[in-house]
């Protein structure tokens, strides 16, 4: 979310803060909100700790390390340094990496994946609140095997993908990698219903932005209901907007975060297209009530869900599946 729009968003977040003042931070919302929804079998969210790195004050992307068990990566929102921050499951700092030559115009999501046996991180500079950007950028960097905790490691990107949408600029905060198919998936934020796009992960060098493919409208994202307006006031207009996306390592399950809850979309077979999958109704996951919740991912196991929020000293939550 870029700095120019931060005052409006701050007021909205203030409204949300007042709305949930009766709840402790992290308490789950016991009321379904008046929508007919199917819920996946997950445990009550468990707070693991708080992100202790003072440089992280607008966490807007989250991904598990593919090299170090129990370690995660995050980054700040627009205007921050082009730096990825590593932390452990208890929130303690584990290091930082700067992407050489990159800019953080509006970093909005982060993905980790393994391709041809090598681990990578993809940073999505795709935020566009006013739908004015002519093109957006994806940075793909190798995940470092070692780095110090007292200095920032510099890393050159393995790939930089510049792209545009086929139907004009749009805001996006939800980007994921399906490494099994070599695809990048993106879901728009402000369209109703949201729209799913894709790009090839491997791109030949080009002097012009590549054009993303529009796949389908995303099914199952609720419209704000009576409960939402009664509880969140004007913030209810934003409460179901998509803010993060992740795909399990086996390529079979997608996790879509909103400010309210998360949606889980499951493929019925390995060769099913994502357009088919996102055209069905999802299952939902109840989340801790955190204002500014814009970062979520599957754990390295591809089943547990982790979330955090924007703002300083953000809590880090785990939600585990209750069925094998």
How far is 233 from 59, CA to CA, in rounded Å?
A: 25
Q: What is the pLDDT of residue 35?
A: 54
Determine the average pLDDT of the residues in 272-287.
97
How far is 151 from 267, CA to CA, in rounded Å?
A: 42
Contact 11, 291 (CB under 8 A): no
How far is 125 from 291, CA to CA, in rounded Å?
A: 22
How far is 39 from 30, CA to CA, in rounded Å?
A: 13
Contact 285, 264 (CB under 8 A): yes
CA atoms within 13 A of residue 32's CA, in its CB half-sphere: 9
Domain boundaries of the chain, sorted by first residue: 3-319
pLDDT in tens, 52-84: 999 999 999 999 999 999 999 999 998 889 999
Q: What is the pLDDT of residue 206?
A: 83
Instruction: Tell me whether strands 315-319 and 305-308 are parallel, antiparallel or unpaired.
Output: antiparallel
Instruction: Tell me whether strands 195-200 and 213-217 are parallel, antiparallel or unpaired.
Output: antiparallel
Q: What is the pLDDT of residue 323?
A: 78
The rounded Cα 10 to chain-centroid distance in angstroms is 20
Q: How confident is the model at residue 150 (pLDDT cuts 50, 70, 90)?
A: confident
Number of Cβ atoms within 10 Å of the Cβ of 160: 16
CATH class of the 3-319 domain in this structure = mainly beta
Mean pLDDT of the chain: 89
Q: What is the dihedral of CA 240, 246, 252, 253, to 10 degrees?
A: -30
How far is 17 from 235, CA to CA, in rounded Å?
A: 10
How much is the pTM?
0.90
How much of the chain, in percent, has pLDDT values that exceed 90?
79
CA atoms within 13 A of residue 60's CA, in its CB half-sphere: 29
Q: What is the pLDDT of residue 232?
A: 87
């Amino acid at each position: 979310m870029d700095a120019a729009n931060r005052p409006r968003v701050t007021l909205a977040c203030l409204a949300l803060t007042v709305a949930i003042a009766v709840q402790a931070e992290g308490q789950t919302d016991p009321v379904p909100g008046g929508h007919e929804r199917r819920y996946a079998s997950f445990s009550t969210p468990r707070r693991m700790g708080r992100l202790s790195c003072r440089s992280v004050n607008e966490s807007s992307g989250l991904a598990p390390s593919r090299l170090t068990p129990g370690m995660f990566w995050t980054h700040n929102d627009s205007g921050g340094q082009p730096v990825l921050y590593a932390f452990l499951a208890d929130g303690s700092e584990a290091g930082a990496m700067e992407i050489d030559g990159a800019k953080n115009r509006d970093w909005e999501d982060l993905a980790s994946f393994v391709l041809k046996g090598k681990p990578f991180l993809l940073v999505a500079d795709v935020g566009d609140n006013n739908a004015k950007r002519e093109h957006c950028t994806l940075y793909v960097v190798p995940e470092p095997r070692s780095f110090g905790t007292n200095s920032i490691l510099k890393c050159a990107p393995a790939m930089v993908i510049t792209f545009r949408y086929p139907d004009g600029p749009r805001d996006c905060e939800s980007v994921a990698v399906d490494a099994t198919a070599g695809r990048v998936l993106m879901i728009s934020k402000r369209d109703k219903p949201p729209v799913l796009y894709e790009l090839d992960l491997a791109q030949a060098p080009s002097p012009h932005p590549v054009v993303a493919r529009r796949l389908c409208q995303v099914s199952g994202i609720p419209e704000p209901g009576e409960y939402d307006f009664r509880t969140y006031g004007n913030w209810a207009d934003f409460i179901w907007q998509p803010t993060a996306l992740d795909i399990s390592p086996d390529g079979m399950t997608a996790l879509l975060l909103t400010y309210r809850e998360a949606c889980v979309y499951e493929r019925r077979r390995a060769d099913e297209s994502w357009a088919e999958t996102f055209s069905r109704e999802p299952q939902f996951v109840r989340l801790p009530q955190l204002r500014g919740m814009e970062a979520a991912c599957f754990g390295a196991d591809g089943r547990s869900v982790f979330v955090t929020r924007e703002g300083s000293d953000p809590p880090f939550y785990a939600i585990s599946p209750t069925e094998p």
